[in-house]
């Protein structure tokens, strides 16, 4: 039996993950919630969500998310989050819990009484899937769809370098359990709003190529969100357009925040480790995909990123 399903009797349980959860954090947390419920255990799912969740994840059973957690839990399960600070306003609940279980695929999570971690796994839902397979449990369509969502989003629909044969084997098993691959992919990648499309054309016009560093950069400003009446969370797909540029191996997309700081998304398609670049700004993630926040201006950020690239050449 997996550690995940031990000692749950009569315990108050919280399931959570990083702030503003993505498809992997949500997919893992919601599938775990459904499984616990099926096993007759009550559990709250709650995140620190300070922007609206992107509509391309609304195929997930988001109604299972609790708006307000209780004051204290016996057990806290944390998915897709290697650092307690990334729990945001839910961090105190992890600190006061009797036991914290971390399931993750980031490198060296800095907390958790029990850690179920594989930094080589493509997604947290992959790590969770392995644990589920350790006992006799029939995965329902709802659980399969949640797990598949994490797998699809964290592998860039089975295209990033973290996609290996195990990922395909799990995806095949999830389809046997009823996962709706086409429906999920269509919602996540196949449909964006008209305004998002128009804004994308501006972002593409702004692209700059720095040949020497094999770097491509673009940015979104606060005024863009106003002009196109669109929320930042609806623009997660933009980095995938920016990274298409053939002449570059590293892509950077900067998004201005309401306090005029910037959030940066980095992608790499060669040996350059963008997690190292993000860490220069106190950010993190994975070798091929990382992110950070900074108060530097665009010019300074680009300079810093170039230097970080040089140090890896």
Applying CB under 5 A, the span of 24-32, 63-71, 184-192, 283-291 interacting with Mn ion comes to 24-32
Applying CB under 5 A, the span of 18-26, 36-44, 138-146, 254-262 interacting with Mn ion comes to 18-26
| DSSP result, 193-230 | -HHHHHHHHHHHHT-EEEGGGTEEEEEE-HHHHHHHT-
Is residue 131 within a helix (H) or strand (E), and if so which, with residue range? helix 124-132
Q: Which residue is nearest to Mn ion (CB)?
A: 24
Q: Single out the residue of 65, 78, 76, 91 nearest to residue 11, CA to CA.
A: 76
Shortest reach from residue 79's CB to Mn ion, in Å: 8
Question: Which bin fits 10, alpha (ψ -120 to 50), beta or left (φ > 0)?
Answer: left
Smaller CB separation from Mn ion, 82 or 219 = 82
24 near Mn ion (CB under 5 A): yes
Shortest reach from residue 115's CB to Mn ion, in Å: 15
Coil, strand or helix at 86 = helix
CB-based contacts of 164-168 (< 8 A; 24+ apart in sequence): 164/122, 166/126, 167/122, 167/126
Applying CB under 5 A, the span of 17-25, 85-93, 218-226, 287-295 interacting with Mn ion comes to 17-25
- Size of site (CB under 5 A) for Mn ion: 4
Shortest reach from residue 285's CB to Mn ion, in Å: 9
Interface positions, 136-155, toward Mn ion (CB under 5 A)? 154
Applying CB under 5 A, the span of 10-18, 50-58, 63-71, 73-81 interacting with Mn ion comes to 73-81
Question: Which bin fits 282, alpha (ψ -120 to 50), beta or left (φ > 0)?
Answer: left
What is the phi/psi pair of residue 219, to 5°?
-150, 155
> Taking each helix axis from N to C terminus, what angle separates 124-132 and 165-176, rounded to the nearest 10 degrees?
60
Smaller CB separation from Mn ion, 8 or 49 = 49
Whole-Å CA distances, 71 to 37, 45, 87: 21, 14, 15
Shortest reach from residue 102's CB to Mn ion, in Å: 13
Tokens 């919602």 — which residue? 187
Smaller CB separation from Mn ion, 123 or 218 = 123
Shortest reach from residue 278's CB to Mn ion, in Å: 15
What is the phi/psi pair of residue 221, to 5°?
-105, 160
Smaller CB separation from Mn ion, 28 or 230 = 28
Smaller CB separation from Mn ion, 44 or 154 = 154
The strand pairing partners of 264, in sequence order, are: 254, 292
Which DSSP state fits 16?
Answer: E
104 near Mn ion (CB under 5 A): no
80 near Mn ion (CB under 5 A): yes
Shortest reach from residue 25's CB to Mn ion, in Å: 6
Smaller CB separation from Mn ion, 79 or 225 = 79
Task: Please tell me the distance from the alpha carbon of residue 298 to that of residue 277, in angstroms, as a whole number.
Answer: 15
Interface positions, 106-135, toward Mn ion (CB under 5 A)? 124
Applying CB under 5 A, the span of 22-30, 83-91, 196-204, 214-222 interacting with Mn ion comes to 22-30
Smaller CB separation from Mn ion, 80 or 236 = 80
Count the neighbouring beta carbons within 10 Å of the beta carbon of residue 52.
Answer: 11
The binding site for Mn ion (CB under 5 A) comprises 24, 80, 124, 154
């Amino acid at each position: 039996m997996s550690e995940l399903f031990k000692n749950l009797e009569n315990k108050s349980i919280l399931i959570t993950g990083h702030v503003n959860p993505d498809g992997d954090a949500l997919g893992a947390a919601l599938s775990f919630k459904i499984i616990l419920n099926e096993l007759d255990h009550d559990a709250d799912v709650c995140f620190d969500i300070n922007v609206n969740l992107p509509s391309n994840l609304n195929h997930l059973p988001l109604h299972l998310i609790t708006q307000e957690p209780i004051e204290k839990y016996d057990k806290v399960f944390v998915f897709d989050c290697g650092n307690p600070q990334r729990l945001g306003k839910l961090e105190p609940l992890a600190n006061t819990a009797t036991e914290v279980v971390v399931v993750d695929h980031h490198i060296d999570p800095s907390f958790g009484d029990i850690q179920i971690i594989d930094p080589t796994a493509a997604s947290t839902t992959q790590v969770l899937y392995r644990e589920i397979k350790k006992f006799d449990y029939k995965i329902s369509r709802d659980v399969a769809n949640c797990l598949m969502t994490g797998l699809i989003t964290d592998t860039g629909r089975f295209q990033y370098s973290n996609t290996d044969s195990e990922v395909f084997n799990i995806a095949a098993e999830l389809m046997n359990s009823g996962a709706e691959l086409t429906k999920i992919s269509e919602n996540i990648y196949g449909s964006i709003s008209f305004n998002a499309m128009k804004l994308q054309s501006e972002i593409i016009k702004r692209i700059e190529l720095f040949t020497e560093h094999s770097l491509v950069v673009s940015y979104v400003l606060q005024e863009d969100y106003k002009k196109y009446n669109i929320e930042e969370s609806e623009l997660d797909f933009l980095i995938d357009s920016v990274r298409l540029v053939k002449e570059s191996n590293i892509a950077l997309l900067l998004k201005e925040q309401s306090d005029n700081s910037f959030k940066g998304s980095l992608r790499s398609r060669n040996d350059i480790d963008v997690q190292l670049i993000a860490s220069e700004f106190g950010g993190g993630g994975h070798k091929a995909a990382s992110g950070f926040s900074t108060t530097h201006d665009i010019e300074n950020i680009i300079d810093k990123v170039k230097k970080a690239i040089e140090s890896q050449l």
